[in-house]
Chain A
Amino acid sequence: MKNLILISLILFSHIIFANEKKIFSVALEDKKYYFSALNEFFIETYNKEILNNDLKKLESLLFYTGIELLEDYDSQLLLKYPTSSTRFILGRKSFQEKKFKSALDHLSKIHPDHRYFPEGKLIEAQVFQAQNKIKERDESYLACQSSAEKNESSAQNDKIKRYYRMVFEICLINKARHHFKKEEYKEALGAYDRIPKKSYKWPYLLLEKAWVYYQMGDYNRTLGLLTTYKSPLLDTYFFPEAEYLAALTYFKLCLYEDSLIIVNQFYQFYRPRFQALDLVFKKNRSSQNYFYNIMFREDEELVKEGEFVSQILTRMKKQTRFSLDFNAIFKIEQEIKRIEQNENKIIKDKLVPHLEEVKSNLLTKINYNAKTDIFQFLDSIPFISQELYKLNLEIISKKKDLVYFNKRLIADRSRGDYSNVTRSRFEYFWKFDGSFWADELGDYSMGLKSNCQTIRNEKVEED
Protein backbone atom coordinates (compact mmCIF):
# COMPACT_ATOMS: atom_id res chain seq x y z
CA MET A 1 0.00 0.00 0.00
CA LYS A 2 2.86 2.30 0.95
CA ASN A 3 4.57 1.55 -2.35
CA LEU A 4 1.37 2.23 -4.26
CA ILE A 5 1.02 5.62 -2.63
CA LEU A 6 4.66 6.41 -3.44
CA ILE A 7 4.24 5.43 -7.10
CA SER A 8 1.04 7.49 -7.31
CA LEU A 9 2.84 10.49 -5.87
CA ILE A 10 5.71 10.23 -8.37
CA LEU A 11 3.26 9.89 -11.29
CA PHE A 12 1.24 12.82 -9.98
CA SER A 13 4.36 14.99 -9.70
CA HIS A 14 5.33 14.09 -13.29
CA ILE A 15 1.88 15.08 -14.50
CA ILE A 16 2.12 18.37 -12.61
CA PHE A 17 5.65 18.94 -13.97
CA ALA A 18 4.51 18.19 -17.50
CA ASN A 19 1.54 20.49 -17.14
CA GLU A 20 3.75 23.23 -15.72
CA LYS A 21 6.07 22.83 -18.69
CA LYS A 22 3.18 23.03 -21.09
CA ILE A 23 1.83 26.02 -19.28
CA PHE A 24 5.27 27.55 -19.45
CA SER A 25 5.46 27.34 -23.27
CA VAL A 26 1.93 28.69 -23.59
CA ALA A 27 2.76 31.46 -21.13
CA LEU A 28 5.80 32.36 -23.21
CA GLU A 29 3.70 32.46 -26.35
CA ASP A 30 1.11 34.60 -24.60
CA LYS A 31 3.84 37.07 -23.71
CA LYS A 32 4.93 37.00 -27.35
CA TYR A 33 8.30 35.39 -26.55
CA TYR A 34 7.92 33.28 -29.67
CA PHE A 35 11.52 32.13 -30.05
CA SER A 36 11.69 30.99 -26.45
CA ALA A 37 8.25 29.39 -26.74
CA LEU A 38 9.36 27.43 -29.79
CA ASN A 39 12.33 25.99 -27.91
CA GLU A 40 10.18 25.12 -24.89
CA PHE A 41 7.60 23.54 -27.18
CA PHE A 42 10.17 21.07 -28.54
CA ILE A 43 11.46 20.29 -25.04
CA GLU A 44 7.91 19.56 -23.92
CA THR A 45 6.85 17.41 -26.83
CA TYR A 46 9.83 15.61 -28.38
CA ASN A 47 9.33 12.42 -26.33
CA LYS A 48 5.54 12.48 -26.39
CA GLU A 49 2.90 11.40 -28.80
CA ILE A 50 2.21 14.38 -31.07
CA LEU A 51 -1.43 15.45 -31.24
CA ASN A 52 -3.20 17.69 -33.74
CA ASN A 53 -3.19 20.54 -31.27
CA ASP A 54 0.58 20.30 -30.95
CA LEU A 55 0.94 20.59 -34.72
CA LYS A 56 -1.34 23.63 -34.79
CA LYS A 57 0.70 25.22 -32.04
CA LEU A 58 3.96 24.55 -33.86
CA GLU A 59 2.59 26.10 -37.04
CA SER A 60 1.42 29.18 -35.18
CA LEU A 61 4.86 29.61 -33.53
CA LEU A 62 6.69 29.14 -36.83
CA PHE A 63 4.48 31.80 -38.35
CA TYR A 64 6.19 34.32 -36.07
CA THR A 65 9.70 32.91 -35.89
CA GLY A 66 10.15 31.68 -39.46
CA ILE A 67 11.68 28.31 -40.24
CA GLU A 68 15.32 29.40 -40.41
CA LEU A 69 15.92 28.14 -36.87
CA LEU A 70 14.80 24.63 -37.75
CA GLU A 71 17.19 24.16 -40.63
CA ASP A 72 19.84 22.64 -38.37
CA TYR A 73 17.40 20.40 -36.51
CA ASP A 74 17.75 16.65 -36.87
CA SER A 75 15.52 15.25 -39.62
CA GLN A 76 14.30 12.43 -37.37
CA LEU A 77 13.03 14.95 -34.86
CA LEU A 78 11.26 17.01 -37.53
CA LEU A 79 9.63 13.86 -38.94
CA LYS A 80 7.76 13.57 -35.64
CA TYR A 81 5.92 16.81 -36.45
CA PRO A 82 4.12 16.34 -39.78
CA THR A 83 3.20 19.96 -40.52
CA SER A 84 3.49 21.73 -43.88
CA SER A 85 6.39 23.81 -42.55
CA THR A 86 8.44 20.81 -41.40
CA ARG A 87 7.65 18.98 -44.64
CA PHE A 88 8.93 21.96 -46.56
CA ILE A 89 12.19 21.95 -44.58
CA LEU A 90 12.60 18.19 -45.00
CA GLY A 91 11.78 18.36 -48.73
CA ARG A 92 14.32 21.11 -49.25
CA LYS A 93 16.96 19.22 -47.29
CA SER A 94 16.33 16.02 -49.28
CA PHE A 95 16.63 17.98 -52.55
CA GLN A 96 19.97 19.44 -51.45
CA GLU A 97 21.15 15.93 -50.59
CA LYS A 98 19.91 14.74 -54.01
CA LYS A 99 17.41 12.34 -52.40
CA PHE A 100 14.79 13.13 -55.02
CA LYS A 101 12.21 10.50 -54.11
CA SER A 102 12.16 11.57 -50.49
CA ALA A 103 12.06 15.25 -51.55
CA LEU A 104 8.99 14.65 -53.73
CA ASP A 105 7.34 12.69 -50.94
CA HIS A 106 7.72 15.56 -48.44
CA LEU A 107 6.94 18.37 -50.86
CA SER A 108 3.78 16.75 -52.19
CA LYS A 109 2.35 16.82 -48.66
CA ILE A 110 2.51 20.59 -48.24
CA HIS A 111 -1.03 21.94 -48.02
CA PRO A 112 -1.98 24.08 -51.09
CA ASP A 113 -3.10 26.93 -48.80
CA HIS A 114 0.12 26.92 -46.82
CA ARG A 115 2.49 29.89 -47.09
CA TYR A 116 5.39 27.69 -48.26
CA PHE A 117 3.39 25.96 -51.00
CA PRO A 118 4.69 28.20 -53.86
CA GLU A 119 8.33 27.77 -52.84
CA GLY A 120 7.69 24.04 -52.35
CA LYS A 121 6.43 23.85 -55.95
CA LEU A 122 9.54 25.66 -57.14
CA ILE A 123 11.75 23.03 -55.49
CA GLU A 124 9.48 20.25 -56.78
CA ALA A 125 9.90 21.57 -60.34
CA GLN A 126 13.67 21.40 -59.94
CA VAL A 127 13.41 17.83 -58.68
CA PHE A 128 11.39 16.90 -61.80
CA GLN A 129 13.96 18.71 -63.93
CA ALA A 130 16.73 16.62 -62.35
CA GLN A 131 14.67 13.50 -63.11
CA ASN A 132 14.03 14.76 -66.66
CA LYS A 133 10.24 14.67 -66.16
CA ILE A 134 9.41 17.68 -68.31
CA LYS A 135 5.61 17.55 -68.15
CA GLU A 136 5.55 17.29 -64.35
CA ARG A 137 8.19 20.06 -64.13
CA ASP A 138 6.08 22.47 -66.17
CA GLU A 139 3.00 21.67 -64.12
CA SER A 140 4.91 22.42 -60.92
CA TYR A 141 6.12 25.76 -62.33
CA LEU A 142 2.56 26.69 -63.25
CA ALA A 143 1.29 25.76 -59.78
CA CYS A 144 4.19 27.78 -58.30
CA GLN A 145 3.29 30.86 -60.32
CA SER A 146 -0.46 30.76 -59.68
CA SER A 147 -0.11 30.08 -55.93
CA ALA A 148 2.59 32.76 -55.56
CA GLU A 149 0.35 35.31 -57.26
CA LYS A 150 -2.57 34.32 -55.07
CA ASN A 151 -0.50 34.65 -51.89
CA GLU A 152 0.96 37.95 -53.05
CA SER A 153 -2.46 39.49 -53.51
CA SER A 154 -3.57 38.45 -50.03
CA ALA A 155 -0.28 39.30 -48.25
CA GLN A 156 -0.59 41.80 -45.43
CA ASN A 157 2.68 43.66 -45.76
CA ASP A 158 5.09 44.72 -48.46
CA LYS A 159 7.90 42.45 -47.36
CA ILE A 160 5.74 39.33 -47.74
CA LYS A 161 4.37 40.62 -51.04
CA ARG A 162 7.94 41.02 -52.28
CA TYR A 163 8.82 37.48 -51.21
CA TYR A 164 5.92 35.97 -53.20
CA ARG A 165 6.73 38.19 -56.18
CA MET A 166 10.28 36.86 -56.04
CA VAL A 167 9.11 33.23 -55.98
CA PHE A 168 6.75 33.94 -58.90
CA GLU A 169 9.53 35.51 -60.91
CA ILE A 170 12.04 32.74 -60.25
CA CYS A 171 9.50 30.17 -61.48
CA LEU A 172 8.94 32.24 -64.62
CA ILE A 173 12.65 32.86 -65.21
CA ASN A 174 13.40 29.15 -64.82
CA LYS A 175 10.92 28.44 -67.61
CA ALA A 176 12.76 30.97 -69.79
CA ARG A 177 16.04 29.23 -68.95
CA HIS A 178 14.65 25.85 -70.00
CA HIS A 179 13.50 27.38 -73.32
CA PHE A 180 16.99 28.79 -73.82
CA LYS A 181 18.54 25.37 -73.25
CA LYS A 182 16.24 23.90 -75.88
CA GLU A 183 17.25 26.71 -78.27
CA GLU A 184 13.70 28.12 -78.20
CA TYR A 185 15.02 31.66 -78.06
CA LYS A 186 11.84 33.57 -78.87
CA GLU A 187 9.90 31.73 -76.17
CA ALA A 188 12.74 32.41 -73.73
CA LEU A 189 12.62 36.14 -74.52
CA GLY A 190 8.83 36.11 -74.14
CA ALA A 191 9.20 34.79 -70.58
CA TYR A 192 12.06 37.15 -69.69
CA ASP A 193 10.07 40.14 -70.94
CA ARG A 194 7.34 39.42 -68.41
CA ILE A 195 9.70 40.46 -65.61
CA PRO A 196 9.23 44.19 -64.96
CA LYS A 197 12.17 46.56 -64.71
CA LYS A 198 11.36 47.30 -61.08
CA SER A 199 12.00 43.69 -60.15
CA TYR A 200 14.99 42.80 -57.98
CA LYS A 201 15.82 40.07 -60.47
CA TRP A 202 15.76 42.34 -63.51
CA PRO A 203 19.43 43.52 -63.48
CA TYR A 204 20.55 39.89 -63.36
CA LEU A 205 18.37 39.03 -66.34
CA LEU A 206 20.09 41.55 -68.61
CA LEU A 207 23.05 39.21 -68.88
CA GLU A 208 20.83 36.19 -69.57
CA LYS A 209 18.86 38.07 -72.22
CA ALA A 210 22.13 39.25 -73.75
CA TRP A 211 23.16 35.61 -74.14
CA VAL A 212 19.82 34.79 -75.77
CA TYR A 213 20.31 37.57 -78.32
CA TYR A 214 23.89 36.45 -78.84
CA GLN A 215 22.75 32.92 -79.67
CA MET A 216 20.13 34.41 -82.02
CA GLY A 217 22.91 36.32 -83.78
CA ASP A 218 21.51 39.74 -82.83
CA TYR A 219 24.85 41.09 -81.66
CA ASN A 220 23.73 44.71 -81.59
CA ARG A 221 20.99 43.93 -79.09
CA THR A 222 23.48 41.93 -77.00
CA LEU A 223 25.83 44.91 -76.80
CA GLY A 224 22.94 47.27 -76.08
CA LEU A 225 21.74 45.17 -73.14
CA LEU A 226 25.24 44.95 -71.72
CA THR A 227 25.65 48.73 -72.03
CA THR A 228 22.83 49.04 -69.49
CA TYR A 229 25.23 47.87 -66.77
CA LYS A 230 27.23 51.07 -67.34
CA SER A 231 24.36 53.22 -66.10
CA PRO A 232 24.83 54.77 -62.62
CA LEU A 233 21.64 53.07 -61.41
CA LEU A 234 23.18 49.65 -61.94
CA ASP A 235 26.72 50.34 -60.82
CA THR A 236 26.49 47.70 -58.07
CA TYR A 237 25.93 45.04 -60.68
CA PHE A 238 29.29 44.06 -62.02
CA PHE A 239 29.54 40.70 -63.75
CA PRO A 240 32.85 39.54 -65.25
CA GLU A 241 30.82 37.35 -67.60
CA ALA A 242 29.13 40.45 -69.03
CA GLU A 243 32.55 41.92 -69.87
CA TYR A 244 33.54 38.70 -71.60
CA LEU A 245 30.27 38.55 -73.57
CA ALA A 246 30.74 42.14 -74.78
CA ALA A 247 34.30 41.36 -75.92
CA LEU A 248 33.13 38.15 -77.61
CA THR A 249 30.31 39.99 -79.40
CA TYR A 250 32.65 42.67 -80.74
CA PHE A 251 34.88 39.83 -81.91
CA LYS A 252 31.92 38.25 -83.74
CA LEU A 253 31.33 41.57 -85.48
CA CYS A 254 35.05 41.59 -86.40
CA LEU A 255 35.48 44.81 -84.44
CA TYR A 256 38.75 43.57 -83.05
CA GLU A 257 39.97 46.87 -81.65
CA ASP A 258 36.78 47.30 -79.59
CA SER A 259 37.13 43.77 -78.34
CA LEU A 260 40.73 44.38 -77.33
CA ILE A 261 39.75 47.51 -75.39
CA ILE A 262 37.49 45.40 -73.15
CA VAL A 263 40.11 42.68 -72.78
CA ASN A 264 42.78 45.19 -71.79
CA GLN A 265 40.46 47.03 -69.44
CA PHE A 266 39.71 43.77 -67.66
CA TYR A 267 43.38 42.92 -67.25
CA GLN A 268 44.45 46.40 -66.21
CA PHE A 269 41.57 47.55 -64.05
CA TYR A 270 39.60 44.62 -62.67
CA ARG A 271 42.08 41.78 -62.34
CA PRO A 272 44.46 43.58 -59.93
CA ARG A 273 41.47 44.51 -57.76
CA PHE A 274 40.19 40.95 -57.71
CA GLN A 275 43.64 39.70 -56.77
CA ALA A 276 43.88 42.21 -53.92
CA LEU A 277 40.45 41.20 -52.66
CA ASP A 278 41.30 37.54 -52.95
CA LEU A 279 44.33 38.04 -50.69
CA VAL A 280 42.35 39.88 -48.00
CA PHE A 281 39.43 37.45 -48.05
CA LYS A 282 41.58 34.32 -48.05
CA LYS A 283 43.34 35.59 -44.94
CA ASN A 284 39.97 35.64 -43.17
CA ARG A 285 38.58 32.48 -44.70
CA SER A 286 38.23 30.62 -41.39
CA SER A 287 36.85 33.55 -39.41
CA GLN A 288 33.41 33.05 -37.88
CA ASN A 289 32.32 36.67 -38.20
CA TYR A 290 34.63 38.58 -40.59
CA PHE A 291 32.26 38.39 -43.55
CA TYR A 292 29.28 39.29 -41.41
CA ASN A 293 31.14 42.30 -40.00
CA ILE A 294 32.29 43.76 -43.31
CA MET A 295 28.66 43.93 -44.37
CA PHE A 296 28.12 46.62 -41.77
CA ARG A 297 31.54 48.03 -40.95
CA GLU A 298 34.33 49.29 -43.13
CA ASP A 299 37.39 47.08 -43.11
CA GLU A 300 40.72 48.93 -43.15
CA GLU A 301 42.27 46.53 -45.63
CA LEU A 302 39.32 46.88 -47.97
CA VAL A 303 39.17 50.69 -47.88
CA LYS A 304 41.60 50.85 -50.81
CA GLU A 305 39.12 48.98 -52.95
CA GLY A 306 36.38 51.29 -51.60
CA GLU A 307 33.39 51.44 -53.88
CA PHE A 308 34.19 48.18 -55.55
CA VAL A 309 33.81 46.07 -52.39
CA SER A 310 30.79 47.96 -51.14
CA GLN A 311 29.09 47.31 -54.47
CA ILE A 312 29.58 43.56 -54.11
CA LEU A 313 28.31 43.63 -50.52
CA THR A 314 25.28 45.78 -51.34
CA ARG A 315 24.25 43.31 -54.00
CA MET A 316 24.49 40.46 -51.50
CA LYS A 317 22.46 42.28 -48.87
CA LYS A 318 19.58 42.60 -51.32
CA GLN A 319 19.07 38.82 -51.35
CA THR A 320 15.91 37.46 -49.72
CA ARG A 321 17.79 35.01 -47.51
CA PHE A 322 19.88 37.79 -45.97
CA SER A 323 16.83 39.88 -45.16
CA LEU A 324 15.09 36.83 -43.63
CA ASP A 325 18.10 36.09 -41.43
CA PHE A 326 18.63 39.75 -40.46
CA ASN A 327 14.96 39.97 -39.64
CA ALA A 328 15.17 36.88 -37.40
CA ILE A 329 18.19 38.33 -35.58
CA PHE A 330 16.37 41.62 -35.08
CA LYS A 331 13.33 39.83 -33.60
CA ILE A 332 15.54 37.75 -31.28
CA GLU A 333 17.32 40.87 -30.05
CA GLN A 334 13.96 42.49 -29.33
CA GLU A 335 12.84 39.41 -27.43
CA ILE A 336 16.04 39.38 -25.34
CA LYS A 337 15.55 43.06 -24.55
CA ARG A 338 11.96 42.53 -23.42
CA ILE A 339 12.92 39.52 -21.27
CA GLU A 340 15.79 41.49 -19.69
CA GLN A 341 13.42 44.35 -18.87
CA ASN A 342 10.32 42.46 -17.70
CA GLU A 343 11.28 39.09 -16.24
CA ASN A 344 12.86 37.91 -13.01
CA LYS A 345 16.35 36.42 -12.76
CA ILE A 346 15.24 32.74 -12.90
CA ILE A 347 13.34 33.27 -16.16
CA LYS A 348 16.13 35.41 -17.60
CA ASP A 349 18.75 32.75 -16.80
CA LYS A 350 16.58 30.12 -18.39
CA LEU A 351 15.68 31.93 -21.62
CA VAL A 352 18.41 34.39 -22.52
CA PRO A 353 21.35 31.95 -22.95
CA HIS A 354 19.31 29.93 -25.45
CA LEU A 355 18.31 33.05 -27.39
CA GLU A 356 21.93 34.22 -27.46
CA GLU A 357 22.92 30.85 -28.86
CA VAL A 358 20.24 31.00 -31.57
CA LYS A 359 21.37 34.50 -32.48
CA SER A 360 24.99 33.39 -32.67
CA ASN A 361 23.99 30.48 -34.96
CA LEU A 362 22.19 32.89 -37.28
CA LEU A 363 25.22 35.19 -37.38
CA THR A 364 27.41 32.22 -38.31
CA LYS A 365 24.93 31.30 -41.02
CA ILE A 366 24.96 34.82 -42.50
CA ASN A 367 28.76 34.85 -42.29
CA TYR A 368 28.91 31.50 -44.09
CA ASN A 369 26.50 32.57 -46.82
CA ALA A 370 28.34 35.86 -47.38
CA LYS A 371 31.66 34.02 -47.54
CA THR A 372 30.28 31.48 -50.01
CA ASP A 373 28.88 34.24 -52.24
CA ILE A 374 32.11 36.22 -52.21
CA PHE A 375 34.30 33.22 -52.99
CA GLN A 376 31.94 31.98 -55.70
CA PHE A 377 32.22 35.41 -57.27
CA LEU A 378 36.01 35.51 -56.98
CA ASP A 379 36.33 31.93 -58.23
CA SER A 380 34.58 32.92 -61.46
CA ILE A 381 37.36 35.42 -62.25
CA PRO A 382 40.10 32.96 -63.32
CA PHE A 383 37.71 31.26 -65.75
CA ILE A 384 36.66 34.54 -67.36
CA SER A 385 40.25 35.71 -67.34
CA GLN A 386 41.29 32.55 -69.18
CA GLU A 387 38.48 32.94 -71.74
CA LEU A 388 39.48 36.55 -72.38
CA TYR A 389 43.05 35.40 -72.91
CA LYS A 390 41.85 32.83 -75.47
CA LEU A 391 39.82 35.54 -77.16
CA ASN A 392 42.89 37.74 -77.28
CA LEU A 393 44.81 34.95 -79.03
CA GLU A 394 41.98 34.50 -81.53
CA ILE A 395 42.02 38.20 -82.36
CA ILE A 396 45.79 38.07 -82.95
CA SER A 397 45.30 35.00 -85.13
CA LYS A 398 42.58 36.72 -87.20
CA LYS A 399 44.79 39.74 -87.67
CA LYS A 400 47.63 37.47 -88.81
CA ASP A 401 45.25 35.89 -91.33
CA LEU A 402 44.56 39.29 -92.80
CA VAL A 403 48.27 39.97 -93.20
CA TYR A 404 48.89 36.48 -94.60
CA PHE A 405 46.20 36.85 -97.25
CA ASN A 406 47.12 40.47 -97.89
CA LYS A 407 43.65 41.66 -96.94
CA ARG A 408 42.11 44.19 -94.62
CA LEU A 409 38.70 44.63 -93.01
CA ILE A 410 36.20 46.70 -94.91
CA ALA A 411 36.22 49.47 -92.29
CA ASP A 412 38.59 50.05 -89.43
CA ARG A 413 35.95 50.71 -86.78
CA SER A 414 32.45 50.83 -88.13
CA ARG A 415 30.42 53.20 -85.93
CA GLY A 416 26.94 52.11 -86.68
CA ASP A 417 23.75 53.10 -88.33
CA TYR A 418 20.08 52.93 -87.34
CA SER A 419 19.46 50.63 -90.29
CA ASN A 420 21.42 47.91 -88.47
CA VAL A 421 19.06 47.87 -85.49
CA THR A 422 16.56 45.02 -85.58
CA ARG A 423 13.58 45.18 -83.28
CA SER A 424 10.17 43.65 -82.83
CA ARG A 425 7.08 45.83 -82.71
CA PHE A 426 7.01 45.38 -78.91
CA GLU A 427 10.52 46.71 -78.42
CA TYR A 428 10.99 50.39 -77.69
CA PHE A 429 13.43 52.52 -79.56
CA TRP A 430 15.51 55.19 -77.82
CA LYS A 431 18.35 57.23 -79.17
CA PHE A 432 21.28 57.34 -76.79
CA ASP A 433 22.25 60.94 -76.15
CA GLY A 434 25.12 60.37 -73.76
CA SER A 435 23.07 59.88 -70.60
CA PHE A 436 21.11 57.01 -69.11
CA TRP A 437 17.39 57.39 -68.41
CA ALA A 438 15.66 54.89 -66.14
CA ASP A 439 12.82 54.13 -68.55
CA GLU A 440 15.26 53.43 -71.36
CA LEU A 441 17.39 50.94 -69.43
CA GLY A 442 17.42 47.48 -70.94
CA ASP A 443 16.11 48.65 -74.31
CA TYR A 444 19.37 49.74 -75.85
CA SER A 445 20.74 48.33 -79.06
CA MET A 446 23.89 49.20 -80.92
CA GLY A 447 23.63 49.95 -84.59
CA LEU A 448 26.90 48.39 -85.65
CA LYS A 449 27.42 46.78 -89.02
CA SER A 450 29.37 43.56 -89.14
CA ASN A 451 32.93 44.37 -90.12
CA CYS A 452 33.78 40.85 -91.22
CA GLN A 453 33.84 41.54 -94.95
CA THR A 454 37.41 41.80 -96.19
CA ILE A 455 38.92 43.56 -99.18
CA ARG A 456 42.21 42.87 -100.87
CA ASN A 457 45.00 45.32 -100.12
CA GLU A 458 46.14 47.32 -103.16
CA LYS A 459 49.58 46.39 -104.51
CA VAL A 460 52.29 48.52 -103.01
CA GLU A 461 54.09 50.37 -105.76
CA GLU A 462 57.80 49.85 -105.95
CA ASP A 463 60.07 52.86 -106.09
Chain B
Amino acid sequence: MRLFIYVFSFYMMSEAYGEDQKVIYQYKKYEKFDLGNLEVKGQLIAPGDISVRERERRRFELDLFARDNFDPFLSKDLESLR
Protein backbone atom coordinates (compact mmCIF):
# COMPACT_ATOMS: atom_id res chain seq x y z
CA MET B 1 0.00 0.00 0.00
CA ARG B 2 2.76 2.39 0.98
CA LEU B 3 4.53 1.50 -2.24
CA PHE B 4 1.39 2.25 -4.21
CA ILE B 5 1.17 5.71 -2.63
CA TYR B 6 4.81 6.49 -3.50
CA VAL B 7 4.33 5.40 -7.11
CA PHE B 8 1.12 7.39 -7.41
CA SER B 9 2.74 10.55 -5.90
CA PHE B 10 5.70 10.23 -8.24
CA TYR B 11 3.36 9.86 -11.19
CA MET B 12 1.37 12.98 -10.22
CA MET B 13 4.52 15.05 -9.77
CA SER B 14 5.87 14.03 -13.13
CA GLU B 15 2.47 14.93 -14.73
CA ALA B 16 2.50 18.39 -13.09
CA TYR B 17 6.02 19.05 -14.25
CA GLY B 18 5.08 17.96 -17.76
CA GLU B 19 2.30 20.66 -18.05
CA ASP B 20 4.82 23.51 -17.80
CA GLN B 21 6.74 22.35 -20.85
CA LYS B 22 5.98 24.53 -24.01
CA VAL B 23 4.90 22.78 -27.14
CA ILE B 24 5.95 24.66 -30.28
CA TYR B 25 4.03 24.11 -33.48
CA GLN B 26 5.55 25.37 -36.64
CA TYR B 27 3.60 26.15 -39.84
CA LYS B 28 4.80 26.52 -43.33
CA LYS B 29 6.37 29.97 -43.65
CA TYR B 30 5.31 30.43 -47.31
CA GLU B 31 3.80 28.49 -50.13
CA LYS B 32 4.70 28.99 -53.68
CA PHE B 33 2.01 29.15 -56.40
CA ASP B 34 3.00 28.74 -59.98
CA LEU B 35 0.26 30.81 -61.65
CA GLY B 36 1.54 30.00 -65.11
CA ASN B 37 1.01 26.39 -64.42
CA LEU B 38 -2.54 26.92 -63.08
CA GLU B 39 -5.26 25.61 -65.25
CA VAL B 40 -8.95 26.60 -65.02
CA LYS B 41 -11.43 24.40 -66.74
CA GLY B 42 -14.42 26.17 -68.41
CA GLN B 43 -15.42 28.63 -71.13
CA LEU B 44 -13.59 31.92 -71.31
CA ILE B 45 -15.94 34.94 -71.81
CA ALA B 46 -15.40 38.71 -71.35
CA PRO B 47 -18.01 41.55 -71.22
CA GLY B 48 -18.01 43.63 -74.37
CA ASP B 49 -19.04 46.86 -72.54
CA ILE B 50 -18.74 47.83 -68.90
CA SER B 51 -21.62 50.13 -67.93
CA VAL B 52 -23.46 51.36 -64.81
CA ARG B 53 -27.16 52.02 -65.22
CA GLU B 54 -27.88 55.61 -64.15
CA ARG B 55 -30.44 55.89 -61.36
CA GLU B 56 -32.55 59.01 -61.18
CA ARG B 57 -31.83 60.95 -57.99
CA ARG B 58 -34.75 60.97 -55.64
CA ARG B 59 -35.94 64.50 -54.77
CA PHE B 60 -38.07 65.19 -51.73
CA GLU B 61 -39.83 68.46 -52.40
CA LEU B 62 -41.19 70.09 -49.28
CA ASP B 63 -44.57 71.72 -49.43
CA LEU B 64 -43.68 75.35 -48.78
CA PHE B 65 -46.38 77.59 -47.40
CA ALA B 66 -47.82 80.06 -49.91
CA ARG B 67 -50.87 81.98 -48.80
CA ASP B 68 -53.91 81.50 -51.02
CA ASN B 69 -56.53 83.16 -48.85
CA PHE B 70 -56.87 85.81 -46.18
CA ASP B 71 -59.75 84.19 -44.30
CA PRO B 72 -58.21 84.60 -40.81
CA PHE B 73 -57.78 88.31 -41.51
CA LEU B 74 -61.54 88.81 -42.01
CA SER B 75 -62.53 88.00 -38.45
CA LYS B 76 -59.44 89.71 -37.04
CA ASP B 77 -60.42 93.00 -38.66
CA LEU B 78 -63.95 92.70 -37.33
CA GLU B 79 -62.63 92.05 -33.81
CA SER B 80 -60.32 95.04 -34.05
CA LEU B 81 -63.35 97.33 -34.28
CA ARG B 82 -64.78 96.51 -30.84
Residues of A within 8 A of B (CB): 67-68, 71, 119, 122-123, 126, 129, 166-167, 170, 173-174, 177, 180-181, 208, 211, 214-215, 241, 244, 248, 251, 319-321, 324, 387, 390-391, 393-394, 397, 401, 404
Report how far A57 CA is from B40 CA in the complex, Å. 118
> Looking across the interface, which residue of chain B has its beta carbon closest to that of A183?
B68
Report how far A352 CA is from B61 CA in the complex, Å. 66
Which of B57, B66, B75, B81 has the largest count of A CB atoms less than 10 A from its CB? B81
Contacts A170-B81, A248-B64 given; indicate if A401 touches B70 (C-beta within 8 A): no
Structural contact, A174 and B57, CB atoms closer than 8 A: no
Structural contact, A181 and B62, CB atoms closer than 8 A: no
Structural contact, A181 and B73, CB atoms closer than 8 A: no
Q: How far is the CB of A126 from chain B (nearest CB, A)?
A: 6
A173 CB contacts on chain B under 8 angstroms:
77
Contacts A126-B74, A129-B74 given; indicate if A390 touches B64 (C-beta within 8 A): yes
> Looking across the interface, which residue of chain B has its beta carbon closest to that of A319?
B80
B69 within 8 A of A: yes
Report how far A144 CA is from B77 CA in the complex, Å. 15
C-beta contact mask, B45-82 vs A, less than 8 Å → 1, else 0?
00000000000010111101111111101110111111
One of B68, B78, B79, B81 near A181 (C-beta < 8 A) = B68
Report how far A129 CA is from B64 CA in the complex, Å. 28
Q: How far is the CB of A221 from chain B (nearest CB, A)?
A: 16
Structural contact, A320 and B81, CB atoms closer than 8 A: yes
Report how far A333 CA is from B60 CA in the complex, Å. 63
Structural contact, A180 and B74, CB atoms closer than 8 A: no
Report how far A248 CA is from B66 CA in the complex, Å. 9
One of A68, A181, A387 near B82 (C-beta < 8 A) = A68
Structural contact, A177 and B66, CB atoms closer than 8 A: no
Structural contact, B78 and A122, CB atoms closer than 8 A: yes
One of A67, A129, A321, A393 near B62 (C-beta < 8 A) = A393
One of B57, B60, B64, B70 near A180 (C-beta < 8 A) = B70
Structural contact, B77 and A170, CB atoms closer than 8 A: yes
A71 CB contacts on chain B under 8 angstroms:
82
Structural contact, B80 and A215, CB atoms closer than 8 A: no
Structural contact, A244 and B65, CB atoms closer than 8 A: yes
Q: How far is the CB of A274 from chain B (nearest CB, A)?
A: 18
Contacts A387-B65, A394-B62 given; indicate if A177 touches B78 (C-beta within 8 A): no
Structural contact, B64 and A387, CB atoms closer than 8 A: yes
- Residue pairs across A and B with Cβ atoms less than 8 A apart, 9 shown, are A122-B78, A170-B78, A174-B74, A177-B70, A181-B69, A248-B65, A324-B82, A387-B65, A390-B62
B59 CB contacts on chain A under 8 angstroms:
397, 401
Structural contact, B69 and A404, CB atoms closer than 8 A: no
Contacts A397-B59, A397-B60 given; indicate if A215 touches B78 (C-beta within 8 A): no
Which 3 pairs show the lowest CB-CB distances between chains A and B?
A: A177-B70, A181-B69, A390-B62
Structural contact, A177 and B81, CB atoms closer than 8 A: no
C-beta contact mask, B20-56 vs A, less than 8 Å → 1, else 0?
0000000000000000000000000000000000000
Structural contact, B67 and A177, CB atoms closer than 8 A: no
Structural contact, B62 and A208, CB atoms closer than 8 A: no
Q: How far is the CB of B67 from chain A (nearest CB, A)?
A: 5
Q: How far is the CB of A68 from chain B (nearest CB, A)?
A: 7
Report how far A71 CA is from B73 CA in the complex, Å. 23
> Looking across the interface, which residue of chain A has its beta carbon closest to that of B69?
A181
B74 CB contacts on chain A under 8 angstroms:
126, 129, 174, 177
Q: How far is the CB of A199 from chain B (nearest CB, A)?
A: 13
Structural contact, B65 and A208, CB atoms closer than 8 A: no
Structural contact, B65 and A214, CB atoms closer than 8 A: no
B69 CB contacts on chain A under 8 angstroms:
177, 180-181
One of A68, A181, A244 near B70 (C-beta < 8 A) = A181
One of B66, B75, B78 near A214 (C-beta < 8 A) = B66
A166 CB contacts on chain B under 8 angstroms:
81
Report how far A177 CA is from B73 CA in the complex, Å. 9
A167 CB contacts on chain B under 8 angstroms:
81
B80 CB contacts on chain A under 8 angstroms:
319-321
Report how far A167 CA is from B73 CA in the complex, Å. 14
Given contacts A71-B82, A129-B74, A397-B59, 11 further A-B contacts (CB under 8 A): A126-B75, A166-B81, A177-B71, A177-B74, A180-B68, A181-B71, A208-B70, A211-B70, A321-B80, A321-B82, A390-B64
One of B66, B68, B78 near A123 (C-beta < 8 A) = B78
Report how far A123 CA is from B78 CA in the complex, Å. 8
Q: How far is the CB of A328 from chain B (nearest CB, A)?
A: 11
B68 CB contacts on chain A under 8 angstroms:
180-181, 215
One of B60, B66, B71, B81 near A215 (C-beta < 8 A) = B66
A119 CB contacts on chain B under 8 angstroms:
81
A68 CB contacts on chain B under 8 angstroms:
82
B78 CB contacts on chain A under 8 angstroms:
122-123, 126, 170
One of B57, B61, B70, B82 near A320 (C-beta < 8 A) = B82
